[in-house]
Structure 1
Amino acid sequence: MHVYLSQHLLDLAARDIVSCPDGVQRLREVSGERDPEVTGLMRSLYHEVTSNLQASSLYLQGVGQALAVHLARRYGDGSEPSKRMNALPAYKLHKAIATLQTGMGSAFSLDRLASEAGMSVSHFSRLFKKATGRSPSQYFIHLRMETARELLLESDLSILNVALEVGYASPSYFAQLFRRHTGITPREYRHRS
């Protein structure tokens, strides 16, 4: 389920609860974060849309406002807007991340990402790192490792199949990267959790 909140709604939340006088709210990147409050609000949205013949727009707006306030409180980055001005624009960042997510089983291609963003490779890489704190290749590995963690916890796939699912043909290389990312092996991660 995808929910899109307008920048205007986030700015209103920032003005209301975060003492952000200009109302410009930026959110930290928190891919893979599990948040029970967001989960509950998303369930409310899903239930309203799927369980009623005519979903109430007032109800949906209220839940959207609650979600914006929670996100501003918990995930606001607290930085000055000017600090992020030279980062990759949000729509290009989201498109690049979506491309990385859908291509998780494929080889990483910086050329493709830069081309889709309409930028040179070096310019795209610099702005992507400024926006996320990671280079595009580091971010891709991060996404793969987060997906692997989910699969290890939530599926019965063997470790070999988890490695294949996230794009690694070599289980030993996958285990090495996983250990570097989490501090433990995939097997230890599965048994600890």
Structure 2
Amino acid sequence: MSAHEASLTNVPELHFVQYHISKEEEYLPVIRQLISKDLSEPYSIYVYRYFLLQWPDLCYMAQDADQNLIGVVVSKLEHHRSGTHRGYIAMLAVEEAHRGKGIATKLVRIAIDAMAQRNADEIVLETEITNTASLKLYEGLGFLRSKRLYRYYLNGNTAFRLVLYLKEGTGLKCPVHPSAAGGEMRSEY
């Protein structure tokens, strides 16, 4: 048993469930409340609905024994201009009282597995450069720092873009520009 699995055994009757649109009225307010406590960006209801209505199958929640929501990961998967099938982890939050128990790691692993099963080439996300807990979590799962995004957040903080390559050679693909003659590929990086 890994340290991660051992830490989850310290959480009695923890359940991981997939978001379902039919339960939007029940889940959405609780998801918004949980995420708004932790993330640097104030998201409107439309941002949540953008993700949850288009990719409900890529939103996973952790619930305690009483079915209270204690953690959530919100993701999407679509084709990127580089030609990759790119997953994106938009939001991750765990109630403060339940942190350090492996719940965030489990939620991210579930999301990674779901995107890999849907043929994702890579998964990206952004996190504040000062968020050492987040960086440790993602880098522990194999994510690499790919770009520094200065003053990325509304609060003026800088972010790292992190990427997890799921398929060999994915990081070598270059964005396709419509203006490129003869189907040439040029890199923007």
Question: What TM-score results when the alignment is normalised by the length of structure 1?
Answer: 0.23
Question: What TM-score results when the alignment is normalised by the length of structure 2?
Answer: 0.24
Structure with the larger strand share? 2
Structure with the larger helix share? 1
